[in-house]
Amino acid sequence: MEQQTNLPSMHEARKRKKGEVEHLQYEIPNHLKGLGAQKSYFIKTYGCQGNIADSEKIAGIMENLGYSEAPNEEASDVLFFNTCAIRDHAEKRVFGELGRLKGLKANNPHRLIALCGCMPQEESTIETVQKKYDQVDIVFGTHNIARLPQLLEKAYQKKERIFEVLSFEGQIIEDIPLKRGHNQKAWVDIMYGCDEFCTYCIVPYTRGTERSRYPEDIIREVTELQEQGYLEVTLLGQNVNAYGKDFTDRKYGFSDLLSDLQKTNIPRIRFTTSHPRDLDLRTMEVMAQGKNIMPHLHLPVQSGSNAILKRMNRKYTHEEYAEKIKMLRNLIPNIAITTDIIVGFPQETDEDFEATLELVRECQFEGAYTFIFSPRQGTPAANFADDIPDIVKKARLLKLNELINEGFARGNHRFEGETVEVLVEGVSEKKTRLLNGYTPHNKLVNFEGPEELIGSMVLVKIEKAYTWHLRGTLVK
């Protein structure tokens, strides 16, 4: 692979060059294979499942290079910050942590500190790190994880700071080694990037153009996971419903992929994130066939006001969204639906906010991630006049959360008295030492049982529903 050292340009990142996706195979140069002998690494991951999946790749590459995982950040020879840029809060946390590391670096000057993930894709981050954080040795972005061996080699040889962030990358690299974080549940990337350009969102700039993995590679990965004993896969993409739109050699979309994966023996399939405009009837029909596709859909709506949706560039209306939910419930009566909502978008009026509350009541969500709008430099909405006082934004969030929590509780109560299948994940940290796991509808269940059950699927009778979890007894 050609070496390219440059800095991000959000202007470049906006350019979309369709049909240029290269599908490549990961290779580690032979001379770098022992680079990490006697050395260790530690990864701190922030943000979404996409970053968790990327950290599994970073860990896989590091182990392939001979590094071992350190028990904590202090003990590590290479410390990674895999960062998130979606809201200002996430970035502030990382800068706070980096500041604290100055001392840690003084203790061990040979330690390398690497900043990666979405923050380096922003020009402002690079400037700040160059000026204020000279304890950071390597900066790389979301497009060049596969070049980590070469970046480490350069950092060791040159003893100078390495900045390598690519702005536009139409590549998919298969077979990057993975060190998965879980023994039963696996993340499976199906596509990268996003072409939606919602006006508030930094993701299209940090993650690049939409590009899909070939179905045969995904099906092979899921089949292998099932053969290794995995019980659940979550298919990942910023907009999974746009899967396959970039293929030039075939017509194959998300519903085809779901349908093909339905034929594998993996017991549970989930996917995230869906876009309401692109979610089509055919996908709903495949979901309705059930089998191993779990009856839960996360469908971010963002707002219930048509004026705000328009300014967000979401490309659907309140009514169209509600109609899709209706269609889904007709096809899959029991489905659990969750969402994401932003309050305090520039110029959101009381009436706009009321329309959001109305939509929440109409759609009967059983959970939501709710946020106050956070302006992201370089996105259109960051330049929209924002005249809403903070106190009003906070009050709206509080009011919305109350309504969402009611839905959460209602969604849980409908399972009282039912017997449900639970994938047992672990033991609760509280004194009670109850086992916990998730149902097909993605409800958290606590119950008494022996620890040997961890990692298996069991039946649990639900005795009582609480707002955030269900309490049940193991069915013998």
Measure CA 39 to chain center.
Answer: 29
Would you count residue 198 as binding ligand SF4 (CB under 6 A)? Answer: yes
* Residue 275 contact among ligand SF4, ligand 5AD, none, beta carbon within 5 to 8 Å by kind: ligand SF4
Shortest CA distance to 111 belongs to which of 123, 99, 103, 119?
A: 103
Coil, strand or helix at 237: coil
Q: How far apart are CA 281 and CA 261, in angstroms?
A: 18
* Residue 371 contact among ligand SF4, ligand 5AD, none, beta carbon within 5 to 8 Å by kind: ligand 5AD
* Residue 328 contact among ligand 5AD, ligand SF4, none, beta carbon within 5 to 8 Å by kind: none
> Site size for ligand 5AD, by CB under 6 A?
12
Task: Report the site for ligand SF4 in 223-262 (rule: CB under 6 A).
Answer: 238-239
Shortest CA distance to 21 belongs to which of 246, 254, 257, 250?
A: 246
DSSP-derived secondary structure letter, 16: -
Q: Which is nearer to ligand SF4, 65 or 202 (CB)?
A: 202
Q: How far apart are CA 472 and CA 465, in angstroms?
A: 9
Coil, strand or helix at 116: strand
Would you count residue 271 as binding ligand 5AD (CB under 6 A)? Answer: no
Q: Which is nearer to ligand SF4, 111 or 207 (CB)?
A: 207
Question: To 5 degrees, how large is the angle CA 404–CA 239–CA 320?
Answer: 60
Would you count residue 437 as binding ligand 5AD (CB under 6 A)? Answer: no
* Residue 373 contact among ligand 5AD, ligand SF4, none, beta carbon within 5 to 8 Å by kind: ligand 5AD
Task: Report the site for ligand 5AD in 50-109 (rule: CB under 6 A).
Answer: 86-87
Q: How far is the CB of 297 from ligand SF4 (least distance, A)?
A: 15
Would you count residue 343 as binding ligand 5AD (CB under 6 A)? Answer: no
Coil, strand or helix at 231: coil
In total, the chain counts a number of residues equal to 476
* Residue 374 contact among ligand 5AD, ligand SF4, none, beta carbon within 5 to 8 Å by kind: ligand 5AD
Contact with ligand 5AD (CB under 6 A) among 42, 200, 243, 271: 200
317 prior amide bond cis, ω within 30: no
Would you count residue 41 as binding ligand 5AD (CB under 6 A)? Answer: no
Would you count residue 196 as binding ligand SF4 (CB under 6 A)? Answer: yes
Query: Residue 339 phi/psi, 5° resolution?
Result: -150, 175
Q: How far apart are CA 16 and CA 40, in angstroms?
A: 39
Q: How far is the CB of 304 from ligand SF4 (least distance, A)?
A: 16
Q: How far apart are CA 375 and CA 379, in angstroms?
A: 8
Structure token pair of residue 308: 């705000």
Cβ–Cβ under 8 Å, residues 29 and 66: no
* Residue 424 contact among ligand 5AD, ligand SF4, none, beta carbon within 5 to 8 Å by kind: none
Q: Which residues bind ligand SF4 (CB under 6 A)?
A: 194, 196-198, 201, 203-204, 238-239, 275
Q: Which residues bind ligand 5AD (CB under 6 A)?
A: 86-87, 200-201, 300, 302, 340, 342, 371, 373-374, 376
